[in-house]
Chains A and B, each alone.
Chain A
Amino acid sequence: MARTEKKKDVVLVGFGWTGAIMGIELANEGLEVLALERGHDQDTVPNFQYPEMIDELKYGIRYGMMEKPANTTVTIRRSLDEEALPYRSLGTFLLGTGVGGAGTHWNGLNWRPMQSEYKLKSYITEKFGAGVMTEDMTIQDYPMTYEELEPHFDRFEKVAGISGTAGNVNGKIIEGGNPFEAPRSDEYPMPAMPSTWDGVKFRDAAKAAGYHPFPSPGGIASKDYKNEYNMQMGPCNHCGFCERYGCYNYSKSSPQTAIIDALKRKKNFEYRVNSEVLRVEKSTDGKTVTGVTYFDHKTGEEVFQPADLVILTAFALNNVHLMLVSGIGQPYDPNTNEGVVGRNYAYQITGGYTLFFKDENFNPFIGTGANGFCIDDFGIDNIDFAKEGFIGGAYWRAGQTNGQPGHTMPLPAGTPSWGAGWKKGIGEWYGHAMSIGAHGSVMSYRGHYLDLDPTYKDRHDRPMLRMTYNWHPNEIRQTQFMKQKMEPVAKSMNPTTMQEGFKKEGAMFDVRPYQTTHNTGGTVTGDDPKTSVLNRYLQSWDCHNLFVMGANTFPQNTQYNPTGMVGGLAYWAAEHIRKDYLPNPRPLV
């Protein structure tokens, strides 16, 4: 141990969305708070500034904002009998790094889970009988209710700056919004963004089919905005550089636009970059943690940072990894179905149709990460699991996010992928294609989990995190159901040609093409320490002065993008830490 730093009241591991939320909420309590960030410091100017940021090759193809797999990665296998191999080349999910974390390079899609998703197991059991669940399904209820979380969702949406049209305010259904959403206490803080032509076409087709389209809710500013911390956003210009990029326009909600400058004013808050936490240190009796040990990349030494309260606020996979390498909580064993850390890992299933129109021009250079229209008619609340033979649901969206030629240039099947034929195809179809996507839930199963890899080690000589995951027949049935429902809607739009991209029976998890970065579970929240790592306040069952944020707390994945839930849970936990834990530190349950 080269160095021990002065003790802090709170140390936060990771300085993205949840680190920033915890930082400001606890610094406002007067605590000495330190955030340790693995990556570099970054801010809108100079790091995301125009025009340097909108470099597709550097950021869109070569992933300039992401953590290099050579520095941090996971190993992946699809079943217990495969040998996991390191994820050496970014593909199916992208792991960010640096101040702001994934909150800087996301698309901005922001949701609250549907009403049934909070008490999913009870809902299924009561409504359809436990028999509809597959035997290996390990889904469970959230230990808190939607009603308890609602004020925190509302708060996060107002802090982040979300544009959208409410569909259900206090039970009153509002025309133009999502009629299936759980009742919200207030409107979105900003009106919905305008949609591009593809979204409008989809809206009209969905409406004609009897569905209920509404504008996608997103952390993309539709006007100038100021949040409770007096942080500001400016209206988006729809340049189409959201996902994989930092926003140069102060238009995409991020820790930088929503919190960080306000937090930096506080004298009792400090953050250190290039400070990679290696493990959480436990007290001798193992009932509390004493701080964290991190690697200071500037000085090249290990540092012990003592703290009274440790909060893991890193990306989902990193939080789980830290718990495992720190030996906190019993690692999950799929053979015995015992243990908790690493249990209930889940991903997200997506599919969709691409439609080509000879006579339509979609101007794909216009877009935002949260563009277009959605429907929730096939959301999880609206599916008869007994009848359809699967558990889950999906929301659909059409709305171009970008027209970047390097990675967003759909071509009809059969078009050559290189040479003169490819060029001809591009000439013919670029700007004439649109897509409709289904974004589906993924349940948790006994065989899907995270643990420490027995073979591969990272640069700090820690075992890598190993992911065991594959598509489950339940999700294939769900996505095939979406295909079947989407096909007539797509056809009704009269495309010149169209093609589907849904996973079929027997599909194997392929990590090469990008799918989504929505990794969930591993340190789930629950009522029972035998099936959860964290209690309902996201407090470790084992060490009461350790709290864990992030999508790793989800018992199974919802049908939505996770950020809204992650933000809402962080504010929920922050409130209970402030009001209940700090006056009397102890296990809250």
Chain B
Amino acid sequence: MKKLIRVLGVLVVLGIVALLAFIFVPVQRTGPVTQLAADFKPAEGQGEYVMHAGDCMACHTSEGGKPFAGGRAIESPMGTIWTTNITPDKETGIGSWSLDDFRAALYDGVTPNGTHLYPAMPYENYRKMSEEDIVALYDYFMHQVEPVSNKVEETKLAFPFNMRFGLRAWNWLAASYPAGFKPVQGEDEQFNRGKYLVEGAGHCAACHSPRNLFMAQDGIDDTSNAFLTGGEIDGYTAPDLRGPESGPQKWTTEQTAAYLATARNAHSSATGEMMLVVRDSLQYMTHEDNMAIAAYLKKIGTAPANASAAAAKPEVTETEKLLTDAKPDMPLGPRLYLDNCAACHIVNGNGAGETFPELDGNSLVTAKSPKGLISVILHGAELPSTADRPMKLRMQGYDNRLSDEEVATLATFLREGWHNKAPGVSAAEVKAVRDLAAH
């Protein structure tokens, strides 16, 4: 008995030591994955380009704030995370960080004093970035970004998420793979460039991969079947990119690249978060890089696009017939569509070219969560002005014209119309989205 107590005592002591070590022993920081020549200098513009590829601006700039001065609120299921000041200001920014410090933030999610970053910072993905890009990005932030003194609000999540040391265990699950990017042998340069951008700086999986039980990305690269098969962000659906009905699989590579560069293509347009990604990040990628992303996504499709099934679709759908006949006794859904939507999106649900997006087969319309569709009906949408397509095409909102009941009926009609098969929408769901904007 005594022996048992002693053993237990030792175990408890060991446990406490281990816990203290877990909390206080500094995290091993990942070093450079490539030894660059001592005189390595990033090409002019490379750092800014990597910044755009990583979309640092989107999170680290507050609405109307100075670039990269932080202070944007990121809503997470655990609470509000305030983004940090990453300008080279020595006091409130990252001006005193060394390259190793900077790399550790991107690879390991730790700050110079050992504090763990919340994984709203996608170091799970940035861990794939090359040393060249890390150095270029570091150089950009240190030398090309204006230092801004801006002390941002401290992130205070509720217990237990305020115990940041817990993230150490999370990191063992989510970000313990070897840093750096390994091109796939046997695939061409374009595939590997696309893969590098998607998996690394582009951090597409942060939204487009599902999350596992531990809230880690379920698949950070294409070795996982779940990788980029759709996720959820703040209740909105980030669509699947790999299934046969997904955009990158249905569209040509050129069309996907156009979508990335301009937020629009012959089929669809980007709304919500994706619109912001185009506005702040993807429009600055070269055509070659957006083509590489598109080609890579096409290649990792999970099932071949079924061209014959598309061809077998009837020429004129029942929905189109219903809308064309426009009988006075038609149900409310199609009537609302005729009165509010058909002028642009046309009775066949195909819209027109790059100006009016298709609703038939549109991933926003058929998304698992109808929140995005409801939001666009209520508040409209605006496409960003880009070099290739400067027009800020806008759809006006209908929040002042349609009731919750009507929006629900219309959204349900859209989700069931033409070839769409998605569950209906309730007035309560519409009200929830409408109430969000009221705050």
Interface residues, chain A, with chain B CB atoms under 8 Å away = 43-46, 49-51, 223-226, 229-235, 237, 239, 248-250, 257, 261-262, 264-265
Q: Does B353 contact A (CB under 8 A)?
A: yes
CB distance A232 to B343 under 8 Å?
no
The 3 closest A-B pairs by CB, nearest first: A224-B353, A234-B355, A45-B394
**Contacting pair A232 B393 (CB below 8 A):** yes
Asked whether, in the complex, the Cβ of B354 is within 8 Å of the Cβ of A223, the reply is no
Q: Which residues of B contact A44 (CB under 8 A)?
A: 394
Q: Which of A226, A239, A248 has the most CB of B within 10 A?
A: A226
Give every chain B residue within 8 A of A233 (Cβ-Cβ): 355
Cβ of B356 < 8 Å from any Cβ of A? yes
In the assembled complex, which residues on chain A have CB atoms less than 8 Å from the CB atom of B343?
50, 237, 239, 248-249
Q: Is the CB of B392 within 8 A of A230?
A: no
Which residues of chain B (119-147) have a CB below 8 Å from chain A? Answer: none
Chain A nearest CB, measured from B328 CB (Å) = 16
**Docked-complex contact B396 and A45, CB < 8 angstroms:** yes
Contact bitstring B312-356, A, C-beta under 8 A = 1, else 0? 000000000000000000000000000010111000000011111
Compute how far the CA of A497 lies from the CA of B315 in the bound complex, rounded to whole angstroms: 44
On chain A, the residues within 8 Å of B391 by CB distance are 230-232, 257, 261-262
User: Which residues of B sit under 8 angstroms from A46, Cβ to Cβ?
Assistant: 396
- For A256, the closest partner residue in chain B by CB is B391
14 examples of A-B residue contacts, CB within 8 angstroms:
A43-B392, A43-B394, A46-B396, A50-B343, A224-B354, A226-B353, A230-B390, A231-B391, A233-B355, A234-B355, A237-B343, A248-B396, A249-B343, A261-B392
Q: Are A265 and B355 in contact (CB under 8 A)?
A: no
Q: With A45-B396, A224-B352 in contact, do A232 and B344 touch (Cβ < 8 Å)?
A: no
Contacts known (A231-B390, A237-B343, A249-B343); A45 close to B395, Cβ less than 8 A: yes
Interchain CA distance A234-B342 in the complex, whole Å: 13
Given the known interface contacts A224-B353, A234-B355, the answer about A250 and B390 at a Cβ–Cβ threshold of 8 Å is no
**If A45-B380, A51-B401 touch, does A229 touch B390 (CB 8 Å cutoff)?**
yes
Interface range for B: 20 to 34
Partner pick for B390 among A225, A234, A262, CB 8 A cutoff: A262
Q: Does B435 contact A (CB under 8 A)?
A: no
Instruction: Write out the residue numbers on chain B whose beta carbons fall within 8 Å of the beta carbon of A225.
Output: 353, 355
A45 and B380 alpha carbons, distance in the complex (Å): 10
With A45-B380, A51-B401 known as contacts, the answer to whether A226 contacts B354 (CB < 8 A) is yes
Smallest Cβ-Cβ distance to B400: which chain A residue? A52
Q: Which residues of A contact B380 (CB under 8 A)?
A: 45
CB distance from A21 to the nearest CB of B (A): 16
Which of A50, A262, A264 interacts with B396 by CB under 8 Å? A50
| Residue of B342, B391, B392 with most partner-chain A CB within 10 A | B391
Per the bound structure, the CA–CA distance linking A233 and B392 in Å amounts to: 12
Q: Once the chains bind, are B344 and A249 in contact (CB under 8 Å)?
A: yes
Nearest Cβ distance between residue A105 and chain B, in whole angstroms? 19
Q: Which residue of B lies closest to A231 (CB)?
A: B391
> Residue B29 at the A interface, CB < 8 A?
no
Contact B396 A232 (CB under 8 A): no
Q: In the complex, given contacts A43-B394, A248-B343, what are 4 additional A-B residue pairs having Cβ atoms less than 8 angstroms apart?
A: A224-B353, A261-B385, A261-B391, A261-B392
Complex contact A230–B344 (CB within 8 A): no
Return B98 CB to nearest CB of chain A, in Å: 35
Q: Is there an interface contact between B355 and A264, defined as CB atoms closer than 8 Å?
A: no
Q: A45-B394, A237-B343 are in contact. Are A232 and B389 (CB under 8 A)?
A: yes
- Given contacts A45-B380, A237-B343, A264-B385, whether A232 and B355 have CB atoms under 8 Å apart is yes
Give per-residue flags for B369-403: 1 if the beta carbon is below 8 A from chain A beta carbons, else 0.
00000000000101001011111111110000100
With the chains together, A239 CA to B391 CA distance in Å?
A: 23
| A234 B396 Cβ-Cβ under 8 A | no
- Given A237-B343, A239-B343, A223 and B353 contact (CB-CB distance below 8 Å): yes
Q: How far apart sit A452 and B110, CA to CA, in the bound complex (Å)?
A: 75
A229: chain B residues at CB < 8 Å are 390
A52 to chain B, nearest CB (A): 9
Q: Complex formed: what's the CA distance from A223 to B389 in Å?
A: 17
In the bound complex, residues from chain B placing their C-beta under 8 Å from that of A230 are: 388-391
In the bound complex, residues from chain A placing their C-beta under 8 Å from that of B387 are: 265
Residues in chain B near residue A248, CB distance under 8 A: 343, 396
Q: Smallest CB–CB gap between B15 and chain A, Å? A: 62
Q: A250 CA to B391 CA in the complex, in Å?
A: 11
- Known contacts A50-B343, A50-B396; is A232 also within 8 Å of B354 by CB? yes
Docked Cα-Cα span, A252 to B346, in Å, equals 17
B34 smallest CB distance to A (angstroms): 38
Cα(A264)–Cα(B391), bound, Å: 10
Q: Give A462 Cβ to nearest chain B Cβ, in Å.
A: 37
* Closest chain B residue to A51, Cβ basis: B401
Q: A45 contacts which chain B residues (CB < 8 A)?
A: 380, 382, 394-396
A235–B396 touching, CB < 8 Å? no
- List of A residues within 8 angstroms of B382 by Cβ: 45
- Closest residue of chain B to A235 (Cβ to Cβ) is B352
Closest A residue by C-beta to B401 = A51
- Residues of A near B354 (CB, < 8 A) are 224, 226, 232
A229 CA to B389 CA, complexed, in Å:
8
A231-B390, A234-B344 known; A250 vs B396 contact (CB < 8 Å): no
> Closest CB-CB distance, B58 to chain A, in whole Å?
20
A226 to B354, CA, bound (A): 9
Q: What is the minimal beta-carbon distance from B354 to any residue of chain A, in angstroms?
A: 6
How far in angstroms is the closest Cβ of chain A from B335? 14
Contacts A49-B396, A249-B343 given; indicate if A224 touches B390 (C-beta within 8 A): no
In Å, the complex CA distance between A239 and B340 comes to 12
Contact check, A265 vs B394: say whether CB atoms are below 8 A apart.
no
A250 contacts across to B, CB distance below 8 A: 344, 355, 393
B352 contact from A43, A49, A223, A239, Cβ within 8 A: A223
